[in-house]
Amino acid sequence: MSKDKNPRRVADNEARAKLRMLRTSPQKLNLVAQMIRGKKVDKALTDLTFSKKRIAADVKKCLQSAIANAENNHNLDVDELIIAEAYVGKNLTMKRGRPRARGRFGKIVKPFSELTILVRQVEEQA
């Protein structure tokens, strides 16, 4: 007697990958996520490869993970995948400081964020 299998959290034609503890602010990460939303995965990979943003390499790694999940775990066709959703969330914030003039203390916050990418298989219209 075993427990019932958990139902899938995404539809049958979707796959997801999540990346946590990215060392950048959510605002900066969202600029890169905006760049790839709604595009086909091969075009998005090309855009991320040649992007000048530092965090684009981590976003590319997350996208490749979502593509691999779609191909290996859900048997979806890689050529028909689009990025249905790419959203950013806040994570923890490290608080640091720096001594300033006249006995004051300058607060430095170092935010972390997380990224979720959802890819969906869409049949091309002929």
pLDDT digits (tens, 9 = 90+) for 82-112: 999 999 999 999 999 999 999 999 999 999 9
Pick the CATH number of 14-121 from 3.40.50.2300, 3.30.43.10, 3.40.50.360, 3.90.470.10: 3.90.470.10
Distance CA 48, CA 7 (A): 33
pLDDT greater than 70 at residue 18: yes
Q: According to the model, what pLDDT value does residue 123 have?
A: 82
Work out the pLDDT band at 3, boundaries 50, 70, 90. Answer: confident
DSSP letter string over 21-80? EESS-HHHHHHHHHHHTTSBHHHHHHHHHT---TTHHHHHHHHHHHHHHHHHTT---GGG
Average pLDDT, stretch 32-53? 97
Percentages of the chain per state (helix, strand, coil), in multiples of 5: 35, 35, 30
